[in-house]
Amino acid sequence: MFFRSKPRPATAADPDAPTEDTGVLDTLRRSLDAARLPAQAAAAAGRELARLEKTDPSVAEYAVGIHYLECILKLPWNACTRDTLDLTRARDVLDARHHGLAPVKERILEFLAARALRGAARPRLLVVDDEEIARTNMAHVLGREGYEVRVAGDGLEALDVLTGGFEADVVVTDLKMERLDGMELLRRLRRVAPDAAVVMVTGFATVGTAVEALRAGAAHYLGKPVNLDELKRTVRAVLEARTASSPGRGPVLCFSGPPGVGKTSVGQAVAESLGREFVRVSLAGLRDEAELRGHRRTYVGAMPGRILKELTRVGVANPVFMLDEIDKIGSDFRGDAASALLEILDPEQNARFSDNFLEIPFDLSRIMFLATANDVSRLPGPLLDRLENLAFPGYTDREKCGIAKDFLLPRHLRENGLSQASVSFTDQALSRIIDDYTRESGLRGLSREIGTACRRLAKLTFENAGQAPARIDAPDIPTLLGPRRFTREAAEAGDRVGVVTGLVVGEHGGEIVFVETARMPGTGQLLLTGSLGEVLRESAQAALSHIRSQAAALGVEPGFFEKTDLHIHFPAGAVTKDGPSAGVTIFCALLSLLTGRPARCDAAATGEMTLAGRLLPVAGIREKCLAAKRAGITTVVLPRANGEVVAALPDDVLEGLDVVLAADAAEAARVVLRGEKEKEEASGGRGE
């Protein structure tokens, strides 16, 4: 009986037989040769490829090595998009995407203009050679490359040019010259022009002179006669290296503000204005720094960090990269992700960012980083120091109404199969949605409620054979959205003793708050209730101590606190409150209680108060003024140090408000409390 034997597969005994694995390595080798990788990346890839050639394909390390090489190949080492900034177009893009936000738009345009000017500046070169023909030829060739070129006949003449105001980026100098040779010029340049890179040129090229020049600080060394093509390549490489290591790339903008005010979409508009790719990475809840830096290859399933993965996805090395919700980064036993951002955002370090997976320096300095945060006070100090905060204010009710009419309503009508010709909302209807169904500084809740109303209208239209209410007015809103969800705090109906209105800023923008006080027989205790933070408790202690120390001047019985307990309460006990800006409000409430003078129901105060009674400036003036207007307040007392901020507010914010700037707490009390002016007039009359 005979059997036909099957063909024998290729084994280690057949070293010349081609295998699938050797084909993969050959493909990777060809791709690496054609990739024009940086020197360190090419060397690391070569070492890994050599290791894989000796590794059994069946082991796990082989697949990890293949993945490592593929990651190196996919990274955009040299791919960049060219900026196409037109300030007029950039302004049009910002205006088309966002209503209002004029200060924010101006700051962004300034930021973009500075980057554009810095990028458009012509590199400045100084050519130093005592041979006129060589000097002229080098200057002519480099000038045709678009550089601004100056020439000098020797080292002393070169120093005169540099000290005369010409800031050279690169100095191309001969080594052997009369009066002052190239080596001495190189040494003096460290003092006169320390930022200039030096390319040494000489006809006496030896290993010793080259080593001496490079040790003295030269960036490159060329022999004579100079190959002009090589000179162009050398100068271009020196300028690129100088640009990569330059820290002067401008600040990293951090857009801060409440949710829904357009922080992320402004970042998209910046990318569109520059013609760059846009990348957004949410950092909310991020705790493991390996998410940013990557995992080391010894871990199972290791991969690069999110920074390099996103660059691989977009395929360019200079996108607009938005780090969203940067204030919500956490930290635990796995590391501090916020500390990892220090290297990523620092222009002194990010030109050689090393991912744990690749362990090869990658230049992140070409990226335009942006960040967003709701509360920058949560950021660590070193990280905040690397950011330039650009605060996004909340929208006024008038701005919300305009945005709803021009942007939100047309979009939701279109998405729900309705047309603006068949359905319209009056301004009163939109204002009712804003007042009764949203409580926010942004627009997300307003957009959600308008979408709900449009879906209800679409249902009515479908059920009534295409007929729906053509005009939606304020009384129709409860039919579409149900009972009102929010009631805004309004000013008191009348003056009260011991109750003063304050102004605060919370997650939903500005609000008013009532500071209530009461006295009772006791042993001199101060009770504080209302979920108060430590800073607010200290403000109350400071206000009481100031009253006790100035009791006679304030018209308070000096020994009032010996047999009296005082109670200060902030309503809405379920909401945590903190901050220094209620100090003057607490002072006025206590003074009203102890003197019996009622506090004005149409006045509100805000300001940090010192133990000596001085008022310090506070933040959120715009939001606080808007809150006062919504509540029916007509007089607002602010620290005098906030005068410049008040002067810069737009007219629609201050319309209907009488803003009083007070230097100290006593001056604020004369405005907030009734009876002080009458008492002064009476005492003045007796004096005469």
User: 427-437 and 444-463 helices cross at what angle (nearest 10)?
Assistant: 120
Mapped onto helix, strand or coil, the DSSP state of residue 36 is coil
- List the catalytic residue out of 365, 581, 592, 629: 581
CA angle at residue 503 from 623 to 679, to 5 degrees?
A: 135
Using the structure block, give the residue that is written with the tokens 């920074």: 307
Was 55 annotated as part of a binding site? no
Was 22 annotated as part of a binding site? no
C-alpha–C-alpha distance, residues 650 and 11, integer Å: 82
C-alpha–C-alpha distance, residues 6 and 14, integer Å: 16
C-alpha–C-alpha distance, residues 571 and 587, integer Å: 17
Longest CA–CA separation in the chain, Å:
143
- List the catalytic residue out of 400, 577, 624, 629: 624
Burial of 240-275, coded b for 16+ CB within 10 Å and e otherwise, reads eebbeeeeebeebbbbbbbbbbbbbebbbbbbbbbe
Sign of CA dihedral 581, 584, 588, 591: positive
Was 263 annotated as part of a binding site? yes
Query: What amino acid is encoded at 343 in this protein?
Result: E
Was 259 annotated as part of a binding site? yes
C-alpha–C-alpha distance, residues 535 and 579, integer Å: 6
16 contacts: CB under 8 Å, gap ≥ 6: none
Was 301 annotated as part of a binding site? no
Structure tokens at 654: 């201050």
Identify which of 408, 413, 410, 425 has the alpha carbon closest to the alpha carbon of residue 469: 425
The residues pairing with 500 across neighbouring beta strands, listed in sequence order, are 515
74 has catalytic annotation: no
CA angle at residue 178 from 172 to 183, to 5 degrees?
A: 50
Asked if residues 338 and 285 have their Cβ atoms less than 8 Å apart, the reply is: no
581 has catalytic annotation: yes
Neighbouring C-beta atoms of residue 68, cutoff 10 Å: 23
Query: What amino acid is encoded at 299 in this protein?
Result: Y
Was 105 annotated as part of a binding site? no
Residues catalogued as catalytic: 581, 624
User: Which positions make up the binding site?
Assistant: 257-264
User: Which positions make up the binding site for ATP?
Assistant: 257-264
